[in-house]
Chains A and B, each alone.
Chain A
Amino acid sequence: MDVSRREMLAGAAKFLVLGFAAEAAADVPLAAPAQLPAYDPSQHWWGMTIDIDLCIGCGNCVRACSAENGVPDGYFRTWVERYHVKSGDQEHPKVESPDGAIKGFPPSTETNEKAFYVPKLCNHCETSPCVQVCPVGATFESPDGVVLVDTTYCLGCRYCIQACPYGCRYIHPERHTVDKCSLCYHRITQGLTTACCEACPTGARKLADLKNPKDPVHAFLRDNKVQVLKPHMATRSKTFYKDLDGSVR
């Protein structure tokens, strides 16, 4: 089926009339599915790969995550940082992430320094400190390796937020329970990729199923020098970065 130019123009005109109302309506998710598609968690082991050399700091992932998951203003399930490193000064990078980069970044004026973008999200650690400290079992690692939250059970004690070395958790200001990246569990368990990966224009972020022998993640991990964030934390992170600079923390 073709969408005619006329229809496109009509859409644009409608935008002018309805303004943001129309845009907001598009962001409202569909109703939740009544029947869950069949899914066998024992066949999957989820993680993510991030290629620093492909990230352009557009902020599409942050916006997509917000639209998909209704992330409250000022909090982030994913965000992007921009690093500037002076020659030889790996320990003191200049880092910025204005509003988590939900509107991208203003162009940098520094031209002589090493500079790059680093997208961040929950690392879905295998031995995750947040799961370890939850007093009641309200946050847990699913059988397919995703760190999830049971919002009906969370006390809101915030111990997990303190325990996460990466700053990936926050208290939802209305629900008063903890909130974090779920690796779009509602999507990946029905064959879709995460919202951030769907919206990433360069393929810098890729959902990875480490249990699937055909997943390109295996080639990615074999052919590249990869690193995880804060490896000394020994959390067995499943978010793998290619070309991660040593100044990143």
Chain B
Amino acid sequence: MAGGWRHARHLIVLALVVAAGLGAFLILRGAVVPAGFGKLGHYRAGAIDDNRRRPVSFAGQATCADCHDKQVEARSKGKHRIVSCEACHGPQARHADDPEKLKPVLPDTAILCRRCHEKDPAKPAHFPQVASTDHSGGAACNACHQPHAPKM
């Protein structure tokens, strides 16, 4: 048997080379796998906070209500009571952050109202909708309707 091993020297060298490569890989692997990987599942735990650590554009209804109580009050009695401020006024987190510096732009009712209320058979039948050209002949919606508390 000793003789057999002597003639297999090249294979033993090869095995050592492969083992060294494998060892190097395992050591390297331990060093480069990102911290927290596998802590919560098969992913980097820190990725959760990365996803949280992002800025907001929409301030949220509660923030709007902090200052604009008059509008909120008017809205709460009308048909638009479930429509949030930013649904029409757009994202206002920056405005809420510095109300003096960045003023919201008043939306153009000719475009804004039609997005929801232009007649379309695909809209639910119970939703109030009009064919705008017949309805107002191009006049601005807020000439007749008060957007914060629309009445028929």
Residues of chain A touching chain B, judged by Cβ–Cβ distance below 8 Å, are 1-3, 7-12, 14-15, 22-23, 25-33, 36, 39, 41, 53-60, 64, 67-68, 82-84, 104-105, 107-108, 110-111, 113, 115-117, 137-143, 148-153, 182, 185-187, 189-190, 192-193, 195, 198-203
Contacts and interface: CB of A to CB of B under 8 A. Distances in A.
A199 B52 contact: no
B93 A30 contact: yes
B105 A67 contact: no
Given A56-B116, A148-B51, 14 more contacts: A1-B67, A1-B69, A26-B95, A27-B91, A32-B55, A33-B55, A67-B90, A68-B56, A82-B122, A107-B131, A110-B121, A113-B121, A138-B43, A195-B58
A152 B44 CA distance: 10
Given A67-B57, A137-B42, A152 B105 contact: no
Contact of B103 (A11, A83, A148, A151): A11
A171 to B, nearest CB: 18
B149 to A, nearest CB: 15
15 contacts: A7-B103, A11-B106, A14-B103, A27-B90, A29-B94, A56-B124, A57-B123, A105-B122, A117-B123, A137-B37, A148-B47, A195-B58, A201-B84, A201-B88, A202-B83
B60 interface: yes
Nearest to A199: B87
A127 to B, nearest CB: 13
User: In terms of DSSP, what is the predominant structure of the interface of chain B?
Assistant: loop
Interface residues of B, number: 57
A139 B48 CA distance: 11
Contacts of B30: none
Contact of A203 (B56, B82, B104): B82
A186 B69 CA distance: 27
Nearest to A8: B106
A29 B106 contact: no
Interface string B114-151: 01101111111001010100000000000000000000
A195 B56 CA distance: 9
A3 B44 contact: no
Contacts of A200: 87
